[in-house]
Amino acid sequence: MRRRRFLGLAAAAAAVPASARAQVPGRNYRIGMLMPTAPPADGVNAAAMIPQALGTHGFVAGRNLAVERRYAGGDIARLGALAQELAGAGVDAIVAIGPAAVAAARRATAATPIVFYGNFDPVALGLVASLARPGGNVTGVVIAPDGTLAAKRLELLAEAVPAARRIAFLAPADAAAMTLQVEETRRAATRLGVELPLVTVREGNYERAFAEIVAARAGALFVAGSTFFVRDRAAIIALAARHRLPATYEWREQVDAGGLMAYGSALAGTTARAADFVARVLRGARPAEMAVEQPSSLDLSINLKTARALGLKLPQALLLRAEVVVE
């Protein structure tokens, strides 16, 4: 796979004084992690990956780093109280996953640095003043600078399954967080001449959601970018396989797990970059002056094993553009 580089890294590092880039010997650091989901079942998630990546910067959990985790368990309304808990606990930084968590953390504190990563537009949501100069206590890593990549993902899925004239859009129940993705995808669907029935998942009931998708006679599935769907990828991928639905996902890791295709970044690389931001903050860097970063390249990932199981013959032109092919 082509190595992914991130914009602004060298300049941002140079902007931090040497004194700020050094750890304080003997000091113990604390970070908070604010997540809208329930605790995950495996290690392919930010709750595990970011603290692990911080170890490469010398911040080792159990040695000089304590990690306070707060999970909303799927109830977005709980994020405000959980953010207040973390702010009141005096953590050195808060890692917020997803736009709702970032907004809750920002309301809870204007002093504690907040680091995010995700597939949303922080400027459009009013979370930062600009990508180049966030201007407050919030910064982090975004997948795309001015959108969510939803339109491109739909275009690639339509190219992979040209016979599909109806593509279901699977979204979490918190539809407000999906507004930008839905708008981008609907505009792309209009250009492509495909119908886009919206199906929401409530209380983790994926069986019911897929029953709606089948009833809508969808020929393919667009899985929205969501922390819930990363956590529940095994269930979604299994149901897509059962119903023989070609589907596109947000992260390469979902393709590794059996999903058909994805376009964007890799979760491992993105969480590693978010950990870099946290490390710089712990060493004294100010979020207001830390430019929001984005990948300088985005990858198309395709799982050929899944395509064969679906009886789907992918266009050669599409395969040639894939940076990652899972056999």
Domain CATH number, residue 199: 3.40.50.2300
In the prediction, which pLDDT does 73 show?
A: 87
Structural domain that includes position 122: 9-143+267-289
On average, the pLDDT of the chain sits at 89
Number of domain units in the chain: 2
Residues 185 and 315 in one domain: yes
List, as one string, the DSSP characters of 6-40.
BTTHHHHHHHS-GGGGSPPTT--EEEEEEESSPPP
Residues 98 and 35 in one domain: yes
Note the pTM of the prediction, 2 decimals.
Answer: 0.85
Residues 107 and 49 in one domain: yes
In the prediction, which pLDDT does 105 show?
A: 98
What's the whole-number mean pLDDT along residues 295-303?
Answer: 87
Binned at pLDDT 50, 70 and 90, residue 48 comes out as confident
Residues 105 and 125 in one domain: yes
In the prediction, which pLDDT does 291 show?
A: 97
Residues 32 and 137 in one domain: yes
Cα angle for residues 286, 149, 69 (degrees, 5° grid):
45
Residues 52 and 188 in one domain: no
What's the whole-number mean pLDDT along residues 67-78?
Answer: 92
What's the whole-number mean pLDDT along residues 76-103?
Answer: 95
What's the whole-number mean pLDDT along residues 276-283?
Answer: 97
Residue 30 is assigned to a structural domain of this protein: yes
Residues 199 and 318 in one domain: yes
Helix 99-108, helix 79-88: angle, nearest 10: 50
User: How far apart, in whole angstroms, are the C-alpha atoms of residue 89 and residue 91?
Assistant: 6
